[in-house]
Structure 1
Amino acid sequence: MQLSSATHMLSAARAEAERLGVVVCVSIVDAAAYPVAFLRMDGLALGCIDVCNKKAKTAALFHMDSADFALVACPGGGAYSLEQTNGGLTSFGGGLTIRDGSGGVIGGIGVSGASTEDDIAIARVALAAFS
């Protein structure tokens, strides 16, 4: 994950959040879940910072969107309590896997601060800016 690509994604995410009239933070990590870029809009509830980081980390480390991760990490799921691993993950929407042109995972993006639906929508716009 290149910094230039990540900052382009942050710009797209911010523009979409502003269009929706919401305040969010956005975390972009590489394939090993190390930080590449981060954005925190003014007025954000500070607890959202940890949430967006965990959404990005979940997507990168498990090669699936955090909403899909919820299906296996929930009570009755095949890997209940999996979110307690890797220093903490999250199992709700807003984290998307970032893939290169050949489909390989190169990172994750996490968005937090708005509704889950808006977080996902903002992350998708940012991801489209990468593609």
Structure 2
Amino acid sequence: MSTDPITLTTALRVCEAAVAEAESAGALVSVAVVDAGGHLVAFMRMDGAEIAGPVLAPDKAYTAVANRIATHELAEQAAPGGPLFGLHAHASGRFVIFGGGVPFRLGDRVAGAVGVSGGTVAEDVACASAGERAWRQAAGPG
């Protein structure tokens, strides 16, 4: 797998894959791709998508990178009584602890992430997973 930083071309492919998944599900979403430092590389918002998406999608991607875990998995740990309860109150409120953020893994390293917001939690997770698959395909062997 390549160790190159996430390029704009690859990030746009990730966004396109997530949007295609949303279209097939009948959802309207926003999609953000961030690099290993949590910096925004690409963003797309479907016509008619919710107004919160431009904030939530990048923050879901940031959360997935910063915590090295998909946000739907993080939600279980951050639930009341969980080992990370209260996590959502940190990072100036930027950590999003519900589904839609998926990290891009290179072995034990996280190279970036995709965040999706606008559908149901299950739709956001499916769209983010489609984006992650597109990243993996674009990254190729390295």
Q: Please tell me the TM-score bracket, short chain as reference.
A: over 0.9
Q: Give the counterpart of 1:54 among 37, 55, 59.
A: 59
> Residues 1-131 of structure 1: matches in 2 within 5 Å?
1-87=6-92, 88-100=94-106, 102-131=107-136
Measure how far apart 1:44 and its partner are: 1.1
Q: Where in structure 1 do 4 or more consecutive aligned residues deviate above 4 Å?
A: none
Q: Which whole-Å CA distance do the structure 1 matches of 2:79 and 2:54 have between them? A: 23
TM-score for both structures, normalised by structure 1: 0.93
Measure how far apart 1:11 and its partner are: 1.2
Measure how far apart 1:57 and its partner are: 0.8
Measure how far apart 1:103 and its partner are: 4.2
Aligned residues with identical type, % of pairs: 35
Which amino acid is the alignment partner of residue 82 of structure 1?
Answer: L
Measure how far apart 1:126 and its partner are: 1.2
Measure how far apart 1:48 and its partner are: 2.2
Would the aligned equivalents of 2:17 and 2:130 in 1 still touch at CA under 8 Å?
Answer: yes
Measure how far apart 1:66 and its partner are: 0.3
TM-score for both structures, normalised by structure 2: 0.86
Q: Which whole-Å CA distance do the structure 1 matches of 2:103 and 2:14 have between them? A: 13
SS class of match (1:46): coil
Aligned length in residues: 130
Which amino acid is the alignment partner of residue 103 of structure 2?
Answer: T
SS class of match (1:60): helix
What 5-or-longer segments of structure 2 have no aligned partner? 1-5, 137-142
Would the aligned equivalents of 2:100 and 2:116 in 1 still touch at CA under 8 Å?
Answer: yes
